[in-house]
């Protein structure tokens, strides 16, 4: 009977496997641990607690609502990472903004990577093996590289050795994660290529990225055409206003400024327009200083 129950649990997928007391996985050596390490699992959001030692405590409410709106439309693009505390109980390792935004819109489950005791080496092996797969899209590869940085603390040089890729190649994949989530989804769904994404990364503002993305989709632009569009887009930005040429100060004002400064005991600022009109500014440094200047002005009435 027990064997039948286990088979049935396995048939329900990883989420069901983790909820089966008879298959409780606590270390990398436990049975079925290989099915969890390096894989995405849908976890009940109520089974996850935040890390009490999380150094970040302030979360911008507006950006959190924007992320929640994105998750409502597109889902959680990048899974969170949790560590197993006990049976069906987990603690957040990374992805608290995604976690909070998902709770904000009432999601009951969230995709997660699960870290279990002594799984560091197993996780690294699983991630490296995952990167070598041929059917991964560019964003999946980028996320795997990012996990090696965040969770295994590998540098790009170390990753280059592990996966047999040039450091510049790894850097190009990681830059794709700077794209707006909608564009990342477009790459994952095959609407645009990694080449399109690499071109758009050169636009920092994500609103501008989306504007270019819409043009690529509607006009079916090639990568080369996209590169030119991005180049033109950058050059079309509003040029900086030319510096205003300050007219030369007339001699009578130059002499008068010195007299004003000596009288009020401060350096007096004078602005002169092209038409000859101007403005005199008398600075003060305290209430006492202000009252002193006021008396000087009133004394001459």
Task: Show pLDDT as tens, one digit a residue, over the chain (301 residues).
Answer: 333 333 333 324 677 777 777 777 777 777 877 777 778 889 999 999 987 755 455 677 888 899 999 999 999 988 998 888 888 888 888 788 899 999 999 999 999 988 876 667 667 767 777 787 777 889 989 988 988 888 888 888 988 988 888 999 999 999 999 999 999 999 998 999 999 999 999 998 888 999 999 999 999 999 999 999 999 887 655 444 444 445 567 777 777 777 777 776 667 777 777 667 778 888 776 677 777 777 777 765 5
Nearest Cα residue to 84 out of 56, 126, 112, 55: 112
Distance from C-alpha of 133 to C-alpha of 233, rounded to nearest angstrom: 36
CA–CA separation, 197 and 249 (whole Å): 54
User: How would you list the strands of the sheet with 80-86, edge to edge?
Assistant: 40-44, 109-115, 80-86, 89-94, 48-49
Instruction: Provide the whole-model pTM.
Output: 0.52
pLDDT of residue 9: 35
Sequence-separated contacts (24+) of 66-71 with Cβ below 8 Å:
67/97, 67/98, 67/101, 68/101, 68/102, 68/104, 68/105, 70/181, 70/182, 71/98, 71/101, 71/102, 71/105, 71/107
- Please tell me the predicted confidence (pLDDT) of residue 240: 47
List, by residue number, the catalytic residues. Answer: 96
Question: What is the fold, at CATH topology level, of the domain defined by 2-117?
Answer: 3.90.1530
Token readout for 203 is 């636009």
Q: Quote the pLDDT of residue 150.
A: 84
Q: Where are the domains of the chain?
A: 2-117, 179-234, 251-299
Q: Which residues pair with 117 in a beta bridge?
A: 27
């Amino acid at each position: 009977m027990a064997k039948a129950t286990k088979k049935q649990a396995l048939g329900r997928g990883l989420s069901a496997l983790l909820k089966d007391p008879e298959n409780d996985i606590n270390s990398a050596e436990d049975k079925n641990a290989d099915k969890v390490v390096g894989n995405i699992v849908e976890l009940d959001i109520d089974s996850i607690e935040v890390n009490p030692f999380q150094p970040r405590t302030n979360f911008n409410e507006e950006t959190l609502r924007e992320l929640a709106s994105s998750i409502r439309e597109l889902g959680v693009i990048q899974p969170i990472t949790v560590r197993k505390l006990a049976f069906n109980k987990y603690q957040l390792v990374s992805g608290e903004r995604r976690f909070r935004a998902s709770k904000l819109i009432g999601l009951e489950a969230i995709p997660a990577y699960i870290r279990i005791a002594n799984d560091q080496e197993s996780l690294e092996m699983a991630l490296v093996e995952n990167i070598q797969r041929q059917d991964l899209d560019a964003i999946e590869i980028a996320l795997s590289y990012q996990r090696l940085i965040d969770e295994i603390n590998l540098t790009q040089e170390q990753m280059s050795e592990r996966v047999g890729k040039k450091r510049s190649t790894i850097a190009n994949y990681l830059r794709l994660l700077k794209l707006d989530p909608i564009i990342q989804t477009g790459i994952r769904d095959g609407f645009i290529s990694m080449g399109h994404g690499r071109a758009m990364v050169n636009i920092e503002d994500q609103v501008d990225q989306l504007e270019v993305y819409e043009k690529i989709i509607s006009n079916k632009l090639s990568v080369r055409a996209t590169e030119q569009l991005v180049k033109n887009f950058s050059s079309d930005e509003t040029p900086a206003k030319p510096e205003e040429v300050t007219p030369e100060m007339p001699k009578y004002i130059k002499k008068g400024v010195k007299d004003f400064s000596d009288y009020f005991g401060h350096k007096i600022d004078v602005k002169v327009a092209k038409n000859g009109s101007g403005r005199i500014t008398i600075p003060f440094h305290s209430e006492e200083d202000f009252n002193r200047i006021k008396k000087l002005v009133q004394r001459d009435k």
